[in-house]
Amino acid sequence: MIQTDDQMVVAQRCVANLQRILLEARKVHLRPDYARMAEPILFEIQQRDQEILEYLSGDLEQSLAR
């Protein structure tokens, strides 16, 4: 769970790194091998993206509840 701006920046960098890994892997792996390799990485990207969105919308949700 992201609690600070610094943690959010780190999460964004992690997502960018994972995306770069997948881009490079697509160049060297056959489609079936890439699909198996990419699945857990894509799941990790989804989870981190969700955490980033939750952090960024946290104050917005509190403001809308008022």
Q: Print the SS3 string covering the chain.
A: CCCCHHHHHHHHHHHHHHHHHHHHHHHHCCHHHHHHHHHHHHHHHHHHHHHHHHHHHHHHHHHHHC
Give me the pLDDT at residue 61, please: 57
pLDDT tens-digit series, residues 13-51 = 999 999 999 999 999 999 999 999 999 999 999 999 999
Give me the pLDDT at residue 64, please: 56
For helices 5-28 and 31-65, angle between their N-to-C axes, nearest 10 degrees: 160
- What's the token pair of residue 14? 């992690």
Domain boundaries, the chain: 5-65
Q: How many CB atoms lie within 10 A of CB 32?
A: 8
